């Protein structure tokens, strides 16, 4: 089994983020809200963790988000833990790993009155760009609805 401790090293630094999120996931609504912002990522514990801070603004308002990514060396997997400044609580951990340069992470989370599956896909494109996607499934993973797409471009300087 390969050591994935450095899987997120590509993301360390400061990024310009463009973001679209589905206004009302799992309702049939196709309205997307658009934001731009800055993402800052720093290494913690010599690479066994990293901290992601996002601040974004758009026509639907502003938000601040935080992601703590923790590497489990025994399992060779990462947990992704998300929060925003409004809730002040951590989401359920999404667990997964990178294969062939693509990270896939899954969690089971409460959403409204139901429990759903959440899938995050992270794909770096060279050293200076990467894409993050989040999808929801309320049918045990048979179908997925994309509801969050973010593209990061490295700030040069």
Q: Which CATH number fits the domain that encloses residue 144?
A: 2.40.128.20
What domain range is 146 assigned to?
A: 9-154
| Residue carrying the six token digits 């989370």 | 109
Supply the DSSP symbol for 91: -
Backbone dihedral angles phi then psi of residue 61, each to the nearest 5 degrees: 120, -160
Q: Report the pLDDT averaged over residues 85-107.
A: 93
Residue 11 has pLDDT above 90, yes or no: yes
**Contact 149/133 with Cβ under 8 angstroms?**
yes
Q: Is residue 126 part of a domain?
A: yes
**Contact 22/145 with Cβ under 8 angstroms?**
yes
pLDDT of residue 120: 98
**Tokens at 111, concatenated:** 């959403």
Condensed to tens digits (0 to 9), the pLDDT of residues 133-153 reads: 999 999 999 999 999 999 999
Between CA 96 and CA 83 the distance in angstroms is 18
Number of domains in the chain: 1
Residue 1 has pLDDT above 80, yes or no: no
């Amino acid at each position: 089994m390969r050591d994935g401790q450095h899987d997120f090293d590509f993301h360390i630094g400061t990024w310009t983020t463009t973001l679209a999120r589905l206004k009302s996931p799992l309702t049939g609504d196709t309205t997307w809200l658009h934001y731009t912002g800055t993402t800052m990522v720093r290494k913690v514990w010599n690479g066994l963790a990293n901290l992601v801070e996002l601040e974004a603004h758009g026509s639907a308002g502003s938000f601040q988000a935080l992601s703590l990514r923790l590497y489990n060396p025994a399992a060779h997997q990462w947990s992704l833990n998300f929060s925003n400044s409004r809730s002040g609580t951590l989401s359920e951990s999404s667990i997964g790993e990178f294969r062939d340069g693509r990270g896939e992470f899954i969690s089971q989370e409460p959403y409204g009155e139901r429990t759903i599956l959440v899938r995050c896909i992270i794909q770096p494109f060279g050293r200076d760009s990467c894409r993050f996607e989040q999808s929801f499934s309320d049918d045990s993973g048979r179908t997925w609805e994309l509801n969050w797409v973010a593209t990061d471009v490295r700030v040069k300087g």
